[in-house]
Amino acid sequence: MKAFRLAPITLGIALLSAGSASAADPATINWKSVPAKTLTLFYPAQSSFQWLRGADHPGAKMVSGGEACLTCHKDREDALGNKLVKANKLEPTPIEGKNGSVQLSFQVAYDKENAYFRFQWKTRNNYPGEAYPMLRFDGKEWKPYGAQKLAAPVRKGEQPAIYEDRLSIMIDDGGVPGFAKQGCWLTCHNGERDNPNQASAADVKANPLFQAIKRNDVRKYLPSTRTDALASWDKGKSLDEIAKIKAAGGFLDLIQWRAHRSNPVGMADDGYVLEYRNFDAGKNPFSSNMDPKTKQPRFMYDAKKTGYKALRIEDIRKKPTALVREQNAVPFDPKAGWKEGDLVSQYVVSRADATGSAADNKQVKGVWKDGMWTVVWARQRNLANPDDKALREGKVYNIAFAVHDDNVTSRGHLVSFPVSVGFGAKAAIEATRLK
């Protein structure tokens, strides 16, 4: 517990001493001078792109014609979420006791270098979701242990519910047709993980697009990357055509703060949505801790610093679980006397190893206190990478938010309708210009 409380303090000092002009610490901003907007995020269940255009959705015709969700669902987020989170035709595997909505407080400011975001939301649990599924020694081998609440082994009671809390931001600069009106629902499709008609591993393996991009499951994608009107997962365009869409700016920025895999090193990840949910070029702050050759972990906890080389299940929620390469990790020792039930993290987190466009979000810090996450974030405004959206003065962006709370991933999140955010421009939310 002590080590966990100490980590954010050390980090604060590291950020301040970084010292370069673009490295403004978002924690030092006078947030009281920046208005807060409260957004209601709600549980979308399996309301996919295809369902919204089908016979069971009364708004289907208008949605196909490009109408905004808010035309018919304004101020209905709570009602939608509370219905969809319980058993219904859009939710085959409801999570017991899950909240249908959450209030997300959002503040945004900017100066010459950066956009600054501050978020607050209440967690359902009286602990921060800082843990991620682990690797567990079963007496012979190291195997994944724990999973999100929507996963079958957790629903059947075979595995504990463990997953990290997350905050996601999707940004459109007007380059993605329809995003301003229909937001996230352009990216959520039948065939994806946890969605209706989830594509089988064999079908994905046999598909030309997925062969070309070397992916073995279906995740978020944009309709523009498919050839048919219903944007089917398996009707991908060629890589050439997809590259042209990207070069023309027809993709979404998707940046995610992760309580286990980025927060311990003061970062968020950086990705984009196009034909798949991609990560930006370079290296993420997190990478797998499983060595594919030895089938053993690459790192273990540094007992000299933490007091333990592995955790036990009863330690989860009590001790910090993140394995940070430059803070509390040492190379794995196969002869360290491992016992059945020993746990080490599935991922290694590192600020030092993160590089390139994937490492753009280096000024992000979340603190959980009294049942609430507060996340502050500085994002450089003038990013010139081909997989980022620069945030320019005088421009309006369409932004959508998601929170993953209470040990869920994939579609188990709470999401917002899209909202316009202006930087020195008229919009539903106008960023405060800092001196």
Binding site for ligand HEC (CB under 6 A): 47, 52, 57-59, 62-63, 67, 69, 71-73, 80, 83-84, 182, 185
For ligand HEC, give the closer residue by CB, 40 or 120.
40
Q: Would you say 54 or 59 has its CB closer to ligand HEC?
A: 59
User: Closer to ligand HEC at the Cβ: 120 or 410?
Assistant: 410
Q: How far is the CB of 49 from ligand HEC (least distance, A)?
A: 8
For residues 144 and 308, give the distance between their C-alpha atoms in angstroms, rounded to a whole number.
20
- In the bound complex, what is the minimum distance in angstroms from residue 190's beta carbon to ligand HEC? 14
Which residue's CB atom is positioned nearest to ligand HEC? 59
- Tell the smallest beta-carbon distance from residue 181 to ligand HEC (Å): 7
d(CA 92, CA 77): 20
Nearer to ligand HEC, 91 or 130 (CB): 91
Q: Which helix (H) or strand (E) holds 277?
A: strand 277-279
CB distance 251 to 173 below 8 Å: no
Q: Confirm if 70 and 183 have CB atoms less than 8 A apart.
A: no
Q: Which is nearer to ligand HEC, 42 or 286 (CB)?
A: 42
CA 77 to chain centre: 21
Distances (CA, A) of 219 to 154, 278, 302, 432: 21, 9, 35, 35
- Which of 77, 360 has the CB closer to ligand HEC? 77
Q: Which is nearer to ligand HEC, 301 or 401 (CB)?
A: 401
Secondary structure class of 341 (helix, strand, coil): coil
Which residue lies nearer to ligand HEC by CB, 59 or 341?
A: 59
Question: In this structure, which amino acid lies at residue 331?
Answer: P
Tokens of 160: 């504990």
Q: Which is nearer to ligand HEC, 83 or 392 (CB)?
A: 83
Closest CB 154 distance from ligand HEC, rounded Å: 24
Helices (H), 19-99: 49-52, 60-64, 70-73, 77-84
Closest contact distance (angstroms) between CB of 227 and ligand HEC is 21
Q: Give the nearest distance from C-beta 67 to ligand HEC in angstroms.
A: 4
Compute the least distance from the CB of residue 41 to ligand HEC, in Å.
Answer: 13
Query: What 3-state class would DSSP assign to 309?
Result: coil
The minimum distance between CB 316 and ligand HEC, in angstroms, equals: 34
Q: What are phi and psi of 165, to 5 degrees?
A: -70, 150
CA atoms of 219 and 72, how far apart (whole Å) = 28
Q: Minimum CB separation from ligand HEC for residue 182, in Å?
A: 4
Nearer to ligand HEC, 25 or 67 (CB): 67
Classify residue 406 as left (phi > 0), alpha (psi -120 to 50) or beta: left
CB of 73 to ligand HEC, least distance (A): 5
Q: What is the DSSP string of 167-226?
A: EEEEEE-S-STTHHHHGGGGT--TTSTTSTTPPPHHHHHH-HHHHHHT-SS-----GGGB
What string of DSSP letters covers 379-408? EETT---TTS----TTEEEEEEEEEE-SS-
